[in-house]
Amino acid sequence: MFLANNSNTKPSANNYSVVVGDDSNHHATVAFTLLQL
């Protein structure tokens, strides 16, 4: 899991990309990212 401020990837609510290796990590990663708001 990592966050990348990259306009070429799908942005999250805080304008950072959420990049995950598999769906099992996806929800936890999104939750973590949203906590950064």
Domain ranges of the chain: 2-34
User: Contact 5/16 with Cβ under 8 angstroms?
Assistant: yes
**Which pTM does this prediction carry?**
0.19
Dist CA 1 CA 7 (whole Å): 18
Instruction: Encode pLDDT of 2-34 as tens digits.
Output: 555 555 555 445 545 555 555 555 556 666 666
Amino acid at 5: N
User: What integer pLDDT is reported at residue 15 of this predicted model?
Assistant: 47
First to last CA, the chain: 18
Say which residue the tokens 């099992």 belong to: 24
Please give the distance of CA 15 from its chain centroid, rounded to a whole number.
Answer: 9
